[in-house]
Every structure is written in structure tokens, then in C-alpha cells.
Amino acid sequence: MIRGMGIRSSIATPILVRGSLWGALGIGTTAEHFPVESERRLADFTELIATAIANAEAQAELAASRARIVASADEARRRIERDLHDGAQQRLVTLALKLRLTRRDVPADLEELAAKLDDVASGLNDALEELRELARGIHPPILARGGLGPALKALARRSVVAVDLTVGVTGRLPEPMEIAVYYVVSEALTNVAKHSLATNVTVNVDETEEGVSVRVCDDGLGGADFVRGSGLVGLRDRVEALGGRIALQSAPGRGTSLSVFLPSSGTATEGASRSHS
């Protein structure tokens, strides 16, 4: 076949990636001989190919490693939330009920004791609510039970800034995507409340065949960036670990717009298939 093509001379060199044979590269010519230094040039070009392949494989391994770290952290969050709910929270609820029963048995003439018990009960209820809020921050159980819609509505209700929320997601998303969207909105609303002095924030979550997009915009002071915001850096790591994109526009005095896109294929889908199986 080679003779039929008129090829009279050829050169080939192996493509070695990290010491292992990945493939080979060969060239042929109809001339009797190759130009001078053709072998060296081919070897140099093959080294460039091997370096590019090694870099691509390293990037893929890094992305997979980041995704595993995010998934592991989310599982740890779920476990801590369950432990708090089944342990400390239930214990505090039981103690609060016992305290109420004890308060009812206090004679009317022991007003000072009754007042002290009421004070303890109030402190116990405050501690229980703080613990519940902490558990929601670690991993919101409403997200696992009801999906994005109810979870984002709960975030909007708790926000100290008025939220105009639109969720265009039907059904359940892959679990890693749901968690990522939730924390994007949660962190954005937290930043709005802490730093922006905004009076209104708009949250839009849309689903397409390509993936899910999230956009959070406020009318506050602006000036946010990834450098000073550790929470935003964490969001970027989470989004990029799922193969997504994140962009921030926050010119001083012109409000802040946070945009995120998570693809429906790739790491997110793979993680979801494992977690929902």
C-alpha cells in the first residue's frame, strides 16, 4: 500500500507520556530522502505533542480531584447536619419540653423562681434556634427533601433584603448541581445583606438542555471582587469543579451581578448519577 502511494522513505517516533507509550507519529515522503534534520524536528514536535497530552491529562485529573473534594465535603456537611438534628437538637427540644412542664408546676407564690425558669426557657429556645440556623448553613435538609424550589424560597424568606425570586427548574436536578446552585444563591444573598446596602435583589434560576444558569443582581454599592471575598472564592472553586463558569460584575456605585452556568453534562452529571442511584 505504501509503495502504491509512491512513498519511498518514512520516519516514525514514539509518543511517550510520563514514561509510558501513548502512541506514535510517522511521516512519509515520495522523495528518496528526507531533508536534513527531519528526524530531529519530528522528535521535537513529538515532544511538544507529549507535553500537551500530559498537560491535558493533568487538567482532567485536577478537575476530577476537585470534584471529589467538593463531593466529599458535601457528604461531610450532610453527616454533620444529621448528627446535629438527631443529637443535639433533639436533646435541646426534650429539655425545653421538660422545662415547660416544670414551669407549669411552680406554685403561683414563687414568682421569682417562675421568672428564672422563664429566663432559662427563653435562653434554651434561642440556643435551639441558633443550632437550627447553624445546621441549615451546614447543609439545608429542605434541599434534600424538596429540591431547589422550596430551598431557594426559604432563603428568600430569611433574607433581610427584599428578594424577587424566579426559579425556572422543573423536577430535580443532579444533586451536585442542586447543592452548587443553593450555595451560589445563599452566599450571594449573604454578601448583599452584609456589604451592599441594597434595597432589592433579583434571583433568576433557569434550566435549559445545556445546563442551569443562575443570576443574582442587586442595586447596592457594588465593588465586590473575588480577591477580597473568601466566600466568592469558595463558590468559584465549587462551580469550576463541576465544569461550570462564574462571572462577577460589580462596578462601584452600580450594584453587583453574579452569573453562574453549570453544564448538564460532565462531572456534575456523573456525581449525580452516583448520589441518586
Give CA–CA dist 67/190, Å, rounded.
24
Task: Provide the pLDDT for residue 91.
Answer: 82
pLDDT value for 228: 66
Output the pLDDT for position 273. 37
- The domain segmentation of the chain, as residue ranges, is 9-66, 145-277
d(CA 25, CA 276): 43
Residue 190 contacts residue 216 (beta carbons within 8 Å): no
Section 126-130 average pLDDT: 78
Kindly report, residue by residue over 142-182, the tens digit of the pLDDT: 888 888 999 999 899 989 999 999 999 988 898 889 989 99
| Of 229 and 191, more confident | 191
Residue 171 region by backbone torsions, left for phi larger than 0, else alpha for psi between -120 and 50, else beta: left
C-alpha distances out from residue 93 to 87, 105, 118, 133, 251, Å: 10, 19, 15, 15, 47
The more confidently predicted of residues 89 and 240 is 240
Tell me the average pLDDT across 36-62. 87
The cell for 231 is 466566600
Task: With a cut of 70, say whether residue 276 has pLDDT above it.
Answer: no
| Alpha carbon distance 169, 148 (integer Å) | 8
- Mean pLDDT, the chain, rounded, equals 84
Output the pTM of the full model: 0.60
Alpha-carbon span 277 to 230, nearest angstrom:
33
> Which band of pLDDT confidence, cut at 50, 70 and 90, is reported for residue 234?
confident
**Other CB atoms within 10 Å distance of the CB of residue 97:** 10
Q: How far is CA 75 from the centre of its chain?
A: 13
| Contact between residue 176 and residue 74 where contact means Cβ atoms under 8 Å apart | yes
Provide the β-strand partners of residue 163.
201
- Dihedral pair phi/psi, residue 185, rounded to 5°: -65, -40
Average pLDDT over residues 224-229: 75
Q: What is the pLDDT of residues 199-211, one digit of tens each?
A: 999 999 999 989 9
pLDDT for 266 beyond 70: no
With pLDDT > 90 as the criterion, what percentage of the chain qualifies? Answer: 30
Domain 145-277 has CATH 1.10.10.60: no
CA distance 220 to 46: 54
pLDDT over 80 (residue 236): yes
> Minimal CA–CA distance to 242: which of 260, 221, 215, 220?
260
Largest distance between two CA atoms of the chain: 117
**How far apart are the two ends of the chain, measured CA to CA in Å?**
51
